Amino acid sequence: MSQNTNLVFLDCGPAIFLFNSILDSNQITSLDVSQNTALTYLNCNINRLTSLDVSQNTALTYLNCNNNELISLDVRNGNNIILQTLMQPITIL
């Protein structure tokens, strides 16, 4: 779903077999991946997200959320091995 400039909201629902998600270069303001517990790779850079919660994504090992409008990022799942540098100041929980 990369580079779909009309995409504003995405709820992946209980897609339990979703492992990789590439959602870069969109206009997404809200992203709910809380039910995607098998997710290992999430690239949601270049969007309009103000908050992102990946605390339920215990399999997540890669997260790229650069170039958003993030104010808060919850990565309390205890398993993030690779975390891209964020380009703006945020509160990390």
The pTM (predicted TM-score) of the whole model is 0.74
- Which residue range is the domain that position 52 belongs to? 1-93
**Based on the structure, what is the number of domains in the chain?**
1
- Whether residue 85 is predicted with pLDDT greater than 60 in this model: the reply is no
**Looking at residue 72, which CATH number applies to its domain?**
3.80.10.10
pLDDT digits (tens, 9 = 90+) for 12-62: 666 565 565 678 889 999 999 998 888 888 899 999 999 999 999 888 888
- CA atoms of 59 and 77, how far apart (whole Å): 8
Strands 82-83 and 30-32: unpaired
The DSSP code sequence of 12-81 is -TT-TT--EEE--SS---EEE-TT-TT--EEE--SS--SEEE-TT-TT--EEE--SS--SEEE-TTS---
Greatest CA separation for the chain: 33
